[in-house]
Structure 1
Amino acid sequence: MNAIVISIGDEILSGDILNTNSQFISKSLKEQNIEVSKIYTIRDNIEDIINSTKESLAHSDIIIVTGGLGPTEDDKTREGVAEALNYNLVLDDSLLKEIKDKFTKNNYIMSDNNIKQAYRIENSIVLKNTKGTAPGMLVNYHNKKIFLLPGPPRELQPMFNKYVLDSLRNKSDQKIFTRTIHTIGIGESHLEEKIKPFFNNNIQIGMYANNGIVDIKVSSKASCLSQAKNNVNAFLNSIDIDKYIWGFDEETLESIVLELLKKNNLTIGFAESLTGGLISSNFTRLSGVSEVFPLSLITYSNASKINLLGVKKETLKEYGAVSKETAIEMAEGLVKKYEVDIALSVTGIAGPTGATKNKPVGLVFIGIANKKISISKKIILNGDRNNIQNRTSLNAFSTLRNFLLKNY
């Protein structure tokens, strides 16, 4: 079974926004053993919508249309899909009342153009939108399913999970089991070389690399779920890549570090130079961080490293700000001066300027200290400034995870 996605929006084609909806939809459908065979990205133009819908109907039984369901003149999705199907648009009084109630509840005055959102394609089922005013639709057309969903991801994703997946969920006798392995410290091609000898017909493998992390997605289909699980687990037990694995499925490096800190009743502080607060920001996205994370310092200049962390002037003069010695003194100073159990520091050259003959762009030192132990790690990263900063954050949490597992 396959599906076709039609993404509608001038702002997507112009590059003003990233089309994350197609990625989300494709990934979600693949888990249901439904492949996306084509993705159309088209303008807010009624002729383009009509032509794309007709062409999709000729090649797939499932069409998912995103965007263009708003109240303005350039939102043409309802009209285009209806014309492609030779269906009429009808005003749904109950839907109009729901939209009016939403505006009243939020103390907004409803404009006349919002009435447009109460029109639905005849023979369609309304899909309620709890995050916005644009309802979705499901049209059953000659044994084909056409879903119309709003464009904003915060509206689309819960509607997709609730309505689309429920309608398309694999109801065959075959069951699917999937695990995702998260790795770091090894490239995608080298990782594939290590695991490829263990590929077999019982599993399907997908590999995805991003910012130095490589994920391996292992899936299996079988007549019963237990057999599918056994197929996946047999593959996982056969491969020897434990030193690169840091987590599974929905785990993140930050969430693993948080749980280890909680488990051992430890507090942590960060001293950031080249990342400028990125590590702290990534950590505080997690709920419950306040239990273990009292403070962080951005010590970008040499003066701040000296005054706030107690880094020695002699250290900076002899070894420089980007050195293992400075990284260690940054971490040790944070532990001593601010009464945290563990401190992590980063210093490096994010580029594109600042490099020297002996210190290239991408050179990074990570320091970790507690009241008894101090360590440093040197890494050299490729990429632009943002990429180096993001990969530094990931490597920092990976190094911290290893430190916690080894010492606590």
Structure 2
Amino acid sequence: MSHLSPSDSVAWDHPEPLAVGSAPVPEYGSGSLADLLPTLAAGMGVPGMPTGIPELTAADRNCVFLIDGLGWEQLRAHPDEAPFMASLLASSRGGTGRPITAGYPATTATSLASVGTGLPPGAHGLPGYTVRNPDTGELMNQLRWKPWTSPRVWQPYPTVFQLAHEAGVHAAQVSSPTFANTPLTKVALSGGTFHGRLAGEERVDLAAAQLAAADRSLVYTYYAELDGAGHRYGVASDTWRGQLMYVDRLVQRLAEQLPPRSALYVTADHGMIDVPFDEQHRIDFDEDWELRAGVALLGGEGRARHVYAVPGAENDVLTCWREVLGEQFWVASRDEAIAAGWFGPHIDERVYARIGDVVAAAHDDVLIIASEREPKESAMVGNHGSMTPAEQLVPLLEVRT
């Protein structure tokens, strides 16, 4: 299997269908989102935590600021809009900057679960935007948690925050009040205390105060609006750049309030790519009889599809999707994707059937939309989910006191 590197920005030219093994698999266990919190917790003395990013120096107080939708490549391309974060890329201001990988798929529900549990998608069990619930046969939206299912049955593992709290570390999350009691928060980010604040300035101020509240602290804070601007207007838009300018000021504001013996880590859940609005770049599943043939359910999202076949049609669907999309997507059977490590080194038994019979990850700047089934998602300018560097690489910026 191949892996991403910070310099992976080459032009892609594959006249033959893409081999499953050529997909740049996330760096699970050595440099992914799932490795961040366990490494920090291990440095604070929380037992049983692996150190997947060993170059991070231990600190008594750790804060993770996750900016939804801020990819490494997008940040590097906009130094004028984000001067403070750009300065961290160059290891100035007492910090360091490097990319890590989000995990597959590079989407919010999956990534937040990886951050909070310290586990890859094949273990925590949120392997996509929408996936089939094997118990009901229905598609479940794991971001909005619809249809509802028991959170603790769906994701039974404790979060790193819960384990840190049990080990005597002050654990806290500071985010929008909207997220206080959502199932996704419960399974991915709970443990210690949750503090809801609407304004970004209030969040970072409170995050700094929570860091100073104990000798050992693990604090998480979150900003979502950059991602929303990217979906609605694209990462090439003035609106997106304006959001980036604002969040850069929030990062600086938080960095300047860090108490002694603290480390601030700025990261993201995925990057983003703008996809043109034409039939060449937006392939409509609802209007394509070849892609629909033998398909019972279409899950995932435009750049990271889970395809659930009618029983007995699995091989036919795989063959068809490879023939139609094989030069633009990595198209794998469930077992091929698992064997290639797309979802992590191991797959829990309860997660296996949540993964599509066919898994399709976009390689080019294309989408598989579903204009009738998913009208809102099909109209988005900015998209994400796959394993290209623009989506998969996210920043890991560090400031220490």
TM-score (normalised: structure 1): 0.24
Rg larger for = 1
Of structures 1 and 2, the one with the larger relative CO (CA 8 A, separation 6+) is: 2
